[in-house]
Amino acid sequence: MVSDSVILCYDSINGGIEVNKDDRILYIMLIGVLVLAVGVGSLYQGIPSTFKGFLAIQVHPARLINDFAVVGGPGAALVNASIVAGIALLLIVINGVAISGPTIAAFFTLFGFGLFGKTPINIIPIIIGVAISAKIAKKSFKEYILIALFGTALGPIFSFIVFELGLTGPVALIVGSIGGIVAGIFLPPVAMAMLHLHQGYNLYNMGMTCGFVGVFVASLIAAGKGDLTIKVIWLDTPDMLLTLFTPVLSVYLMGFGVYMGKRKAFSDMMAIQKLPGRLPSDFMDMVSVGGALVNAGVLGIITWLYIVLVGGDLNGPVLGGILTVMGFGVFGKHVRNCIPVMLGVVLSCLVFGKSLTAPGPILAVLFSTTLAPLAGEFGAFTGIIAGFLHLIMVERTGAWHGGIDLYNNGFAGGLTAALIVSVIEWYRSSQPDEFDDTFN
């Protein structure tokens, strides 16, 4: 069993921190991402248009799938994403949390989903709710900070109540804030239960947590006759800024990795490929910072190339998926454990006649890598099976919560992992001698 202390990766973030040279470099790297995204995005779209687009994003529905590159423009979407990720970084600094694998994963995940669902105003109630939960449990907020950051997947609760439910004025803001805060309060206890279910083989544990809570929220809304019809807003025309963002960021991360790891950066990256990736696997701590950053950059290039080769759209949601993969490239994902799962999704598409470039499948290929630890622990064949089943599940789970859980793939991934792990554990307990030969 996975202990509660391991569930939320507290071992790597608790306690006071002493900022050393590596920490300073990582801060510079992350701040550089924000500054460059805001600067390039504003200049690309034009400052007046970017500001107008940014405001439009704040008052727009945020449930799956709303591509903010369509709502406000690509530059405005990057600015919104930068502010969302900036809030995450600010909370990390204020609470004295170390820059580590999980915090970098959170930073890039929030940046990515700032392109299609998260806004500065809809994530705040969730964070406040988690902070209240910490007070109730007599814990410090820093112990729950990862739950708070990843839990912002339920930001659409605020946006739905304020902009879609039919309420207006201060009443809408008050009710929306209360809804987000209450959801945030429930996240820590549910998160602890969810990880026990999949045993750390679903990297997006908060995706499953938010999906579980989201089902209850959606049921309450449906009971009140609220309309939870899912609509897809999706940029399907090429945009130079969004197209080039991933390769530039990948080279940027690899450059920092080589600078920090010197000659060992690439050999350390290869050493990472031998790790299973099961939660909590902080590659920066287990191997090296340089190797982990190079691994993240390589994953960015590979996922970007996949989208280009199949002719997919490089828009807000897809870029968000790539950024999340890159973020977890320092915390559980690497080339060896991701590829089998991605292949499984592709195989599922081919078997069931689904387009590889449709929104659902293309996002599933990227986010299915939440199941990478299954391939890392039990072999490529298990990873392919996981990916194959993941696509089937993810196309059902979105309707269960009405798009309220932005990490829908994490929700589906948790269910898929729970099924596979339960079967493997059952088989291992009954056939211990043959287990390794069967699954590896």
Is 436 among the domain residues?
A: no
Residue 13 CB neighbour total at 10 angstroms: 24
In a domain, 432, yes or no: no
Query: What string of pLDDT tens digits covers the 440 residues of the chain?
Result: 344 433 454 444 444 455 677 899 999 999 999 999 999 999 999 999 999 999 999 999 999 999 999 999 999 999 999 999 999 999 999 999 989 999 999 999 999 999 999 999 999 999 999 999 999 999 999 999 999 999 999 999 999 999 999 899 999 999 999 999 999 999 999 999 998 899 899 999 999 999 999 999 999 999 999 999 999 999 999 999 999 999 999 999 999 999 999 989 999 999 999 999 999 999 999 999 999 999 999 999 999 999 999 999 999 999 999 999 999 999 999 999 999 999 999 999 999 999 999 999 999 999 999 999 999 999 999 999 999 999 999 999 999 999 999 999 999 999 999 999 999 988 888 876 655 555 55
pLDDT value at residue 45: 97
Closest CA to 60 of 71, 49, 51: 71
Sequential DSSP letters for 382-409: HHHHHHHHHHHHHHHHHHHHTT--S-HH
Give domain status of residue 434, yes or no: no
Is the residue at 332 inside a domain?
yes
**Encoded tokens for 291:** 């190797």
358 belongs to a structural domain? yes
Residue 8 confidence (pLDDT): 52
Overall domain count for the chain:
1
68's tokens = 């903010």
Q: What are the start-end ranges of the H helices in 95-154?
A: 101-113, 120-136, 145-150
For residue 16, the model assigns a pLDDT of 46
Q: Is residue 95 part of a domain?
A: yes
Contact in structure between 404 and 63 (CB atoms under 8 Å): yes
Rounded CA-CA distance 337/292 in Å is 14
Domain-located, residue 431 = no
| Cβ burial, residue 270 (10 Å; 0-12/13-18/19+) | middle
Task: Count Cα atoms within 13 angstroms, Cβ side, for 338.
Answer: 28
Q: What are residue 66's DSSP bridge partners?
A: 233
In a domain, 343, yes or no: yes
Name the residue among 231, 181, 177 with its Cα closest to residue 60. 231
CA distance 428 to 298: 34
What b/e readout covers 294-329, taking b as 16+ CB neighbours within 10 angstroms? bbbbbbbbbbbebbeeeebbbbbbbbbbbbbbbbbb
What is residue 3's predicted lDDT score, i.e. its pLDDT?
41
- Angstrom distances, CA of residue 113 to CA of 216, 258, 386, 403, 408: 22, 28, 24, 13, 12
Containing domain of residue 84, as a range? 1-426
pTM of the model: 0.94
